[in-house]
Amino acid sequence: MITTTSGHGDFRQLSELPRTIGGPLSRMEQIGGSMVADSPDEVRLRVREQLMQGASQIKLTAGGGVSSPFSPIDASTFTEAELRAAVEAAENWGTYVTVHAFTPVAIQRAIAAGVRCIEHGFLMDDATARLIAKKGVWLSLQPLPEELREGFPAGSVQRAKADEVWPGIARTYELAKKYKLKTAWGTDVLFSPALAKQQGAILASLVRWYTPAEALIMATGTNAQLLAMSGKRSPYAGKLGVVEEGALADLLLIDGDPIANIKLIADPGKNFVLIMKDGKIYKNTLPHE
């Protein structure tokens, strides 16, 4: 992802400052954590570098975040001109920009610049939700589990920011439903193998706001529509999110009816009896006759 100096995703140490535009890359940038850009021209360059390396879409951090120590939640980072430079560069390659953003200011600025998808949006207000609906912008939303918040040490800057953000999750889902926003599903689980194994349970938790069928559609067909906006930059040769001839053969066979009991997907080890990806079977515990 691409961030600004002190933006969400800037995990450098204070000892690495000051930064010189055009200077050597920091260790964070060298290992691919994120790239720092502090002007429209530099944003354009960083976006093109990501496209050169095969990026299917571009991610910028338009506002403060929880995990970054020097990135206050209320801070708006990129200027509209910087965001617009990213959008222009991405659109020249037939793809789109998505941004991490929590606050109304960060979200509205990104939309004004032509960003096609807002990640999180947990502190948005009613007016911002109406704008998202009016402009047809996507909202990539996550029902973040409490374990993720509690993973930040008590008393840390990150824990305080998590405590500020978490109450907004339910409110944002309610706004998404109220205004029928194009809503994708994700987990935002990073660096935790244990939580990654709980993604089925995280998806099942959507029944606080959606029916089991709505939740399953969101995680499959709806998510596929968002990814398809990357056009020819998509790494997938076949059609996503549908079961039809010529589409990618990514199929799960579940022992039971997840529409009647969504909790079945919370235990894939037990209940997923067949796992097929791109036509190749990776798991098959069906009885053989």
What per-residue confidence (pLDDT) applies to 2?
Answer: 98
What per-residue confidence (pLDDT) applies to 289?
Answer: 63
The percent of residues above 70 in pLDDT, for the chain, comes to 100
What confidence tier does 238 reach under pLDDT thresholds 50, 70, 90?
A: confident
Instruction: Assess whether pLDDT exceeds 90 at residue 123.
Output: yes
pLDDT 10s digits, 240-250: 999 999 899 99
What per-residue confidence (pLDDT) applies to 192?
Answer: 85
DSSP code, position 31 = T
pLDDT 10s digits, 56-96: 999 999 999 999 999 999 999 999 999 999 999 999 999 99
For 279, other C-beta atoms within 10 Å of its C-beta total 10
Instruction: Assess whether pLDDT exceeds 90 at residue 22.
Output: no
pLDDT 10s digits, 199-223: 999 999 999 999 999 999 999 999 9
Instruction: Assess whether pLDDT exceeds 90 at residue 287.
Output: no
What per-residue confidence (pLDDT) applies to 51?
Answer: 98
In the predicted model, what is the mean pLDDT of residues 97-115?
Answer: 98
- Comparing CA positions, the residue from 116, 150, 160 lying closest to residue 136 is 116
**Lookup: tokens for 111:** 């939309």
* Helices within the chain (DSSP H only): 27-30, 40-52, 80-92, 104-112, 126-135, 146-150, 157-165, 168-178, 193-196, 199-204, 212-217, 223-227, 268-271
In the predicted model, what is the mean pLDDT of residues 40-53?
Answer: 98
Instruction: Assess whether pLDDT exceeds 70 at residue 10.
Output: yes
DSSP code, position 51 = H
In the predicted model, what is the mean pLDDT of residues 186-211?
Answer: 93
